[in-house]
Amino acid sequence: MALPESHFTTAHPARVYDFYLGGKTNYQVDRDAGEQVLAVWPGAQQAAQVNRAFMHRAVRLLCERGIRQFLDIGTGIPTEPNLHQVAQEVDPAARTVYVDKDPLVLVHADALMRSAPEGRTAYLQADVTTDVDRIVAGAAETLDLDEPVALSLIALLHFVPDEQGAYGMVRRLLDALSPGSALVLTHGTGDFDPAVMERVAQIYRGSGIGAQARSREELAAFFDGLDLVPPGIEVPHRWRPDPARVRPRSEEYDAQVAMWAAVGIKR
């Protein structure tokens, strides 16, 4: 598919994230933005890895609790294991709908749709800040919205500033889902080092990407009316860590990661 010229001249969060993870599906403009971030926040690459590990654990937990449907918005460049692969390890019949606005993700969407024969995966190119209704309608073609769905917004909302309606957007998505559905969320924060994270946000904004770190209290507002799964809002590497990978508590490491993570269940 032909990509617009702006695709090569403007950084995109999915491709910068791919750069942090050591991937090859990114352009010089993305690497430039990523290098600037790493210069002020060396923990960005570690945060990306910790973030993915949290997603894997959260998906497994929700599958074990009976959720078999996932709506993953802000999918990013495919990096195995993808969310649907983790879910289908628990139940091959699990269904996943991926959503991202970057057309480069669509180029690789075949990797996102290699489902187990018992289940199903689908991909929708859409912008969550403008296309909520289309996302819900598209998800309903693959998922049964009358049954619980896990809404995955991993490392997404810090790219949706308040002026773009982040809280209202999340509420509209949750309102479309049945009771028993889940919100899975990670978010960059300035709680550990406000000056560094504000500088990171400035770099992203200077690269044409909206960005806003949020505090633990601001993150909690996304979960209003939901029941938080223990341990509640926690740094991602201490949210139900794998026993073999439990890290000693370290404020220095928490500051390197500079993220909060949580899962909530809709009543």
**What mean pLDDT do residues 106-124 have?**
82
Per-residue confidence at 115, pLDDT binned at 50, 70, 90?
Answer: confident
The model's pLDDT over 16-41, given as tens digits with 9 standing for 90+, comes to: 888 888 888 888 998 998 899 899 99
Rounded to an integer, the average pLDDT of 175-195 is: 97
Domain-embedded: residue 117: yes
Under the banding of pLDDT at 50, 70 and 90, the label for residue 8 is low
Contact call for residues 95 and 68 (beta carbons, < 8 A): yes
pLDDT in tens, 132-143: 999 999 999 999
Q: Is residue 1 part of a domain?
A: no
Which of the 8 DSSP states describes residue 186?
Answer: E
pLDDT greater than 50 at residue 4? no
> Pairing mode, if any, of strands 69-73 and 95-100?
parallel
The per-residue pLDDT of the chain, averaged, comes to 91
Domain count, the chain: 1
Q: Indicate whether 136 belongs to any domain.
A: yes
Q: How many helices (H) and strands (E) does the chain have?
A: 12, 7
Task: Give me the CATH number covering residue 58.
Answer: 3.40.50.150
Q: 């910790």: which residue's tokens? A: 50
Cβ contact 76:18 at 8 Å: yes
Q: Is the pTM of this model over 0.75?
A: yes
CB 130 within 8 A of CB 108: no
Q: Is residue 124, in this structure, part of any structural domain at all?
A: yes
pLDDT value at residue 87: 96
Range of the domain at 19: 6-243+250-266
pLDDT for residue 2 is more than 70: no
Question: pLDDT tens, 73-110?
Answer: 998 777 778 899 999 999 999 999 999 987 777 777 77
Tokens standing for 239? 């949210």
